[in-house]
Amino acid sequence: MLKNQVAVVTGASRGIGYGIALELASQGANLVVNYNSSAASMEQLVQTIHEQYPEVEVVAVQANVADFEQAKQLIDTAVAKFGRVDILVNNAGITKDGLLMRMSEADFDAVIDVNLKGTFNCMRHAIKPMMKQRSGRIINLSSVSGISGNAGQVNYAASKAGVIGMTKSLAREVATRNITVNAIAPGFIETEMTGQLNDAVQTTIKGQIPMQRFGQVSDIAQTVAFLSSSAANYITGQVITVDGGMTM
């Protein structure tokens, strides 16, 4: 259980981030949940947490994590409200897929700015209170694309591979302060994005997965909860693939 711990979850207004926030709330963690543009979805998340877990305090913060100062305001809000940051989940991410020969510089930069620099920004600001506390959990969302690559995702794969490199490097820097830094690399998870794929494409993808099915948001959320818990005290610098065996 994570009772009375403080978790910051970026990109929490929908999909995997939404599920992570609900899972951490179910474990008793107080939450600072971040969104950039999906205000209505965020309101729904906050209302759901209030209804299902009335003992949990939750604060919603609008911020573009790609912006260094806005990321600082996000972490500062958590410290001002709760006095500490115990868990940081860097989930915010975007895709702008396309073959390299047609990919614009703007589409490359946008994905790197949110997925890679956004993760750096939040870690950079959260590490100070964690160092002061001499404790903390940082969990970064990477992707199987960052491990094996994926056609049409040069920008996305680069950003997610970079997240893995940052995870391992920071884990080495802060291990003596009782701060763990790990990454989760999801495979194909049932979200709005995979729901837009037609049946033929879904069938083809599932044929490449040893378990022959997509994962659930809960598979990722429960892995985040585990890495946030005392059960994962001696795990750091790792990349956990949650992909039904796709990259083994």
* Structure confidence by residue, pLDDT tens digits, 126-146: 999 999 999 999 999 999 999
Q: Which residues contact 160 (CB under 8 A, 6 or more apart)?
A: 115, 142, 143, 145, 146, 185
Instruction: Tell me whether residue 66 is in a domain.
Output: yes
Q: Which residues contact 139 (CB under 8 A, 6 or more apart)?
A: 87, 88, 89, 90, 182, 183, 184, 224, 227, 228
Q: Residue 193: what pLDDT? A: 73
Instruction: Tell me whether residue 196 is in a domain.
Output: no
What's the rounded Cα separation, in Å, for the pair 72 and 131? Answer: 16
Please report where in the chains the tokens 């040893």 appear, as a residue.
Answer: 210
Instruction: Tell me whether residue 210 is in a domain.
Output: no
Which one, of 207, 154, 163, lies nearest residue 186 by Cα? Answer: 163
Is 18 tagged catalytic? no
Mean pLDDT for 24-44 is 96
What's the rounded Cα separation, in Å, for the pair 231 and 62? Answer: 32
Domain that holds residue 176: 6-189+217-242
Instruction: Tell me whether residue 10 is in a domain.
Output: yes
- Active-site hit among 35, 53, 156, 234: 156
- Contacts of the segment 77-80: beta carbons below 8 A, 24+ positions apart: 77/32, 78/6, 78/8, 78/32, 79/129
Q: Residue 136: what pLDDT? A: 98
Instruction: Tell me whether residue 83 is in a domain.
Output: yes
Instruction: Tell me whether residue 45 is in a domain.
Output: yes
Q: Residue 197: what pLDDT? A: 81
Instruction: Tell me whether residue 194 is in a domain.
Output: no
Q: 44-74 in b/e burial notation, b at 16+ Cβ within 10 A?
A: ebbeebeeebeebbbbbbebbbbbeebbbeb
Could you give the number of structural domains in the chain? 1
Instruction: Tell me whether residue 212 is in a domain.
Output: no
What's the rounded Cα separation, in Å, for the pair 201 and 164? Answer: 28
* Structure confidence by residue, pLDDT tens digits, 165-198: 999 999 999 999 999 999 999 999 998 777 778 8
CATH number of the domain bearing residue 39: 3.40.50.720
- The token pair at 191 is 């979200």
